Amino acid sequence: MATNKLGLLPSQPSQNQIQDSSLSAPIATYRNWLKAGEVMSEDIATIDPQSTVASAARIMSAGKISCLIVSSDGHLSGGVTETDMLKKAVADGQDFRKMKVEQIMSSPIRSIPHDSSVMDTSRIMEIENIRRLVVLKEGEPVGLITQTDMVRVLASYTASIEVSEILTREAVVIASSATVREAAVLMSSQDVSCLVVMNDDTIVGIFTERDLLKRVVALNRDPTKIILREVMSGPVVTIPANYSLMSATKLLEREGIRRLVVMEYDTLLGVITQTDIQRVLTATLQEEEQRYFRLLSESYNSVFTVDLNFKTTYMNNAFMRLLDVADPNELIDKPFLPERFWEVPEQRNQLMGQLRKVGVVVDELSLKTTKGNRLSAILFIMPNKDLTGKVNGGQGILYDMTIK
């Protein structure tokens, strides 16, 4: 992990937030999740802490990015986001035109190891209520993973959910004649990233953190003198309540936006954001995974998984009973079926050779349990693949063929 001089704070959920505590394998997973390092952006935009807030806004606006890493003499001291611009540079009433980046940056920066699964990464974002994480490899920052990355990836793992199922909060509205400062104060007090702009009873636009950054802060304009109708975005992208979550996600990506206005005929129902989508996708996928492992834990089949180095990453209760193993830590994250389980240790070397060369392996094994009982078993193992088709381990079953 990174040292304090990097200004990075490793951010990991507790064990009971990552896994179902009834499972025997803390690093097993129902799905073959992609890793943070596989979906991150390798381009990390940086800025000096002594730079002006306006110059930071111009960099973010030109690059269409929501975050800058604050760096001085090679040391990472924090990060500055669109939300920092909203809450610390405009809504609190200070004159951002006289402010430096170090006055509004968030520190330390939250981080994640590059080999963390996208599910664990998403859980961290939700627990910490943040939208991006610095990705570390051997303690050094190698990329940035954002909420947009999370939504895009997680949506590909699950079936369709209707927008109406996740629409939990009404839209916050404001008149088009309001000032940007008034809008920023309202957004900060309501803890929202956008406002629906109205002209009487008609929706005429939407005002977001990015609008504030791009059209006010980056241009050094006075937020107390700018009217929303001059800087809002439009036309508003709307969807019906029965729109599928998958379709909504694709629309967000295609339009390059982070929220959609939900309408029922001419009635405004609310706003759905990337945060809403990520929260529901994470909860849905986690529930499916926990349900799967509860069933697997109760299965009579002896099931296991291994990583690319053939270390055991999961074994269910039946597997433990078959080998008379009392504590899963005896085998988890250790070489698959250590030599003490083999009547003929050379047979293990032959099996390892097969596993490295052949996709699917079926073999008859002569084993012994931790209590010394003889065990005749048939091993079936096949590759595990992630969404990209890349093999990241194997899963299999050990069938007991011992004549009782």
* pLDDT of the residue at 206: 96
Q: Identify the CATH assignment for 163-280 out of 1.10.150.120, 1.10.10.10, 3.30.70.20, 3.10.580.10.
A: 3.10.580.10
Mean pLDDT, rounded, for 301-308: 89
* pLDDT of the residue at 297: 86
* Integer CA distances (angstroms), 394 to 62, 118, 332, in order: 44, 19, 14
Token representation of residue 22:
């009834």
Is residue 104 within 8 Å of 88, Cβ to Cβ? yes
Same fold, 4-155 and 163-280: yes
Output 27 or 250, whichever has higher pLDDT. 250
* Cα–Cα distance for residue pair 51/48, rounded to 1 Å: 5
* pLDDT of the residue at 6: 40
* pLDDT of the residue at 50: 94
**Burial 48-84, CB ≥16 within 10 A → b, else e:** ebebbbbbbbbbbbeeebbbbbbbeeeebbbbbbbbb
Helices 147-155, 245-255: crossing angle, 10 deg rounding: 140
Q: Which residue ranges make up each domain of the chain? A: 4-155, 163-280, 299-400
pLDDT at 275 over 60: yes
pLDDT at 188 over 80: yes
Question: What band does 159 get if pLDDT is binned at 50, 70 and 90?
Answer: low
* pLDDT of the residue at 376: 93
* Cα–Cα distance for residue pair 196/207, rounded to 1 Å: 6
Residue 276 has φ and ψ, to the nearest 5°, of: -60, -45
* Three-state SS sequence of 268-290: EEEEEEHHHHHHHHHHHHHHHHH
Superfamily of structural domain 4-155: CBS-domain (3.10.580.10)
Structure-token match 């998403």, residue found: 122
* Integer CA distances (angstroms), 24 to 305, 312, 317, 330, in order: 12, 11, 7, 11
* Cα–Cα distance for residue pair 118/136, rounded to 1 Å: 14
Is residue 25 within 8 Å of 299, Cβ to Cβ? no
* pLDDT of the residue at 165: 80
* Cα–Cα distance for residue pair 156/31, rounded to 1 Å: 12
* Cα–Cα distance for residue pair 62/36, rounded to 1 Å: 26
Is residue 226 within 8 Å of 250, Cβ to Cβ? no
* pLDDT of the residue at 178: 97
Lowest mean pLDDT across 19-33, 207-221, 263-277: 19-33
* Cα–Cα distance for residue pair 378/358, rounded to 1 Å: 16
Q: Which value, to the nearest 10 degrees, does the dihedral of the CA atoms of residues 215, 146, 110, 123 take?
A: 130
For the stretch 54-90, pLDDT in tens is 999 999 999 888 899 998 877 788 899 999 999 999 9
* Cα–Cα distance for residue pair 145/140, rounded to 1 Å: 15
pLDDT at 24 over 70: no
Q: In percent, how much of the chain has pLDDT > 70?
A: 91
Token representation of residue 98:
């006289």
Structure-token match 């079953």, residue found: 397
* pLDDT of the residue at 5: 35
Q: What is the CATH number of domain 299-400?
A: 3.30.450.20
pTM of whole model > 0.85? no
Q: In percent, how much of the chain has pLDDT > 90?
A: 42
For the stretch 312-341, pLDDT in tens is 988 999 999 999 999 989 999 998 998 899
Question: What band does 199 get if pLDDT is binned at 50, 70 and 90?
Answer: very high
For the stretch 335-369, pLDDT in tens is 899 889 988 888 888 887 777 776 788 889 999 99
For the stretch 31-45, pLDDT in tens is 678 889 999 988 888
The burial of 365, by beta-carbon neighbours within 10 Å (0-12 exposed, 13-18 middle, 19 or more buried), is given as buried
